[in-house]
């Protein structure tokens, strides 16, 4: 009787406990969670955590809950390798990170050896995918993609403008203007001036003189906001009314602080703010309820989680190789920042950019369809 009673009690306990719990799927992320760039790292941590919370609220991935492990890499390459090693040891299934390209690139080698997919929501340097292994994917555009966006706008809105391209010779700028040249050539547009300048010069009167002598009506500045502002001042000082244009390096308050009124009308590309998209409306409202707007790369981190989950569902697998192959084959995923697909290297296809214009010390997004060349391009 005692043996029977023991079995009865044990069986009753099992019924109360229910079926064995499935193990959690551990997701890793990393970024600068302390120091001067902590606000940037916090963006991807919050985005990843919100995505995980939302998936868990609806049953997780095929009944398995997701959990996040976030580590501070300080945007430092050496620390990033230590962090990547710690995440691998902890048993992460995939990584939605890192933030900085300088951290993502060395960390990716650690994940590659461990068979782990890395989807970065912010690392934009070309080397991340150019030199990366089978496991790297980015949910953000490459640096030079802004050059292609600029070429499209010039071809559509400034097809008759005399174009000058000025580059500071840095790797990022060189890659950007390469895409700009390719896009212009495809539209049968040829710059009247394509030259470089040295960062840190005392003044840029010689650069401004070459631009004015070439009769340029549109000047593309590929470099930092410091030199961009100095060149803008030099150009205006020589009477040039050329339309100024550049990449997101010019989208900082210091650009106007240095250039002053010379920066008026400058057009700048930056990532499209996904908070305005219909696909983001529900998620944005949840962030708003908590009092934290999903700025910067927050929603791109959310999208990185979505991309991996949808690939895992499509392949019925959590295997890194299979998931990476599926995503890099161009299969489309639906995300909070709109539909996404990736090419064979893991780069985002057809990235969306927004255009901003500086005016009276502030920059604001503009609809490029409303730009009128006669009002913006004028020959002095």
Domain CATH code at residue 119: 3.40.50.2300
Cβ within 8 Å of residue 343, ≥6 positions away: 328, 330, 349
Cα–Cα distances in angstroms (integers) from residue 295 to residues 2, 172, 276, 284, in the given order: 65, 24, 11, 10
Separation between Cα atoms, residue 184 and residue 166, nearest integer Å: 15
Same-domain status, 111 and 208: no
The count of domains in the chain is 2
Same-domain status, 342 and 358: no
Range of the domain at 37: 25-138+275-351
Separation between Cα atoms, residue 163 and residue 62, nearest integer Å: 54
Beta bridge partners of 357: 267, 364
Alpha-carbon 320 to chain mean position: 22
Q: Residue 61: inside a domain, yes or no?
A: yes
Q: Residue 255: inside a domain, yes or no?
A: yes
Reduce the DSSP state of residue 256 to 3 states and report it.
helix
Same-domain status, 366 and 236: yes
Cα–Cα distances in angstroms (integers) from residue 118 to residues 29, 87, 108, 121, 323, in the given order: 9, 12, 7, 10, 11
The pLDDT of residue 182: 96
Query: What element of type H or E holds 26?
Result: strand 25-31
Q: Residue 20: inside a domain, yes or no?
A: no
Q: Residue 19: inside a domain, yes or no?
A: no
Same-domain status, 77 and 155: no
Q: Residue 95: inside a domain, yes or no?
A: yes
SS (H, E, C) 52-114: HHHHHHCCCECCECEEEEEEECCCCHHHHHHHHHHHHHHCCCEECCCCCHHHHHHHHHHHHHH
Separation between Cα atoms, residue 263 and residue 45, nearest integer Å: 35
Same-domain status, 257 and 358: yes
The pLDDT of residue 250: 92
Same-domain status, 67 and 196: no
Reduce the DSSP state of residue 354 to 3 states and report it.
strand
User: For residues 245, 250, 256 and 261, what is the CA-based torsion angle, rounded to 10 degrees?
Assistant: -10
Same-domain status, 167 and 255: yes
Antiparallel, parallel or unpaired: β 66-72 and 338-340: unpaired
Same-domain status, 359 and 346: no
Q: Residue 12: inside a domain, yes or no?
A: no
Q: Residue 8: inside a domain, yes or no?
A: no
Same-domain status, 70 and 172: no
Q: Residue 103: inside a domain, yes or no?
A: yes
Same-domain status, 104 and 188: no
Cβ within 8 Å of residue 222, ≥6 positions away: 147, 165, 166, 167, 168, 173, 176, 177, 180, 246, 247
- Please provide residue 15's backbone torsions phi and psi, each rounded to the nearest 5 degrees: -65, -40
Identify which of 261, 211, 214, 206 has the alpha carbon closest to the alpha carbon of residue 233: 261
Same-domain status, 233 and 369: yes
Enumerate residue ranges in the chain where pLDDT < 50. 1-21, 374-380
Same-domain status, 239 and 371: yes
The pLDDT of residue 157: 94
- Please provide residue 6's backbone torsions phi and psi, each rounded to the nearest 5 degrees: -65, -45
The pLDDT of residue 372: 67
Q: For the chain, how many residues are written?
A: 380
């Amino acid at each position: 009787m005692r043996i029977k009673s023991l079995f009865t009690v044990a069986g009753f306990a099992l019924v109360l406990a229910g079926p064995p719990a499935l193990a959690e799927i551990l997701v890793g992320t990393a970024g600068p969670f302390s120091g001067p760039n902590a606000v940037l790292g916090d963006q991807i941590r919050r985005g990843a955590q919100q995505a995980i919370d939302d998936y868990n609220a609806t049953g997780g991935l095929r009944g398995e809950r997701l959990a996040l492990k976030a580590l501070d890499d300080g945007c430092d390459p050496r620390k990033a390798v230590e962090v990547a090693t710690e995440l691998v040891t902890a048993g992460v299934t995939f990584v939605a990170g890192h933030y900085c390209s300088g951290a993502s690139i060395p960390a990716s080698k650690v994940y590659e050896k461990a068979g782990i997919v890395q989807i970065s929501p912010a690392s934009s340097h070309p080397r991340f995918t150019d030199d990366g292994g089978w496991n790297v994917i980015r949910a953000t555009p490459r640096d030079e993609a802004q050059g292609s966006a600029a070429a499209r706008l010039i071809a559509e809105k400034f097809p008759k403008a005399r174009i000058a391209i000025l580059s500071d010779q840095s790797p990022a700028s060189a890659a950007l203007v390469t895409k700009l040249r390719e896009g212009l050539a495809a539209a049968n547009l040829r710059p009247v001036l394509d030259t470089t300048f040295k960062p840190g010069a005392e003044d840029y009167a010689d650069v401004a003189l070459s631009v004015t002598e070439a009769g340029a009506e549109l000047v593309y500045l590929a470099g930092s906001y410091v030199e961009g502002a100095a060149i803008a001042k030099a150009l205006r000082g020589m009477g040039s009314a050329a339309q100024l244009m550049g990449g997101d390096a010019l989208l900082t308050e210091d650009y106007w602080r240095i250039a002053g009124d010379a920066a008026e009308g400058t057009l700048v590309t930056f990532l499209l703010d996904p908070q305005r998209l219909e696909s983001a409306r529900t998620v944005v409202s949840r962030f708003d309820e908590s009092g934290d707007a999903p700025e910067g790369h927050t929603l791109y981190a959310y999208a990185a989680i979505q991309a991996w989950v949808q690939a895992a569902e499509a392949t019925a697998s959590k295997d890194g190789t299979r998931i990476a192959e599926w995503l890099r084959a161009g299969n489309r995923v639906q995300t909070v920042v709109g539909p996404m697909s990736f090419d064979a290297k893991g780069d985002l296809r057809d990235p969306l950019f927004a255009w901003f214009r500086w005016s009276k010390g502030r920059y604001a997004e503009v609809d490029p369809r409303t730009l009128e060349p006669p009002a913006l391009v004028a020959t002095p």
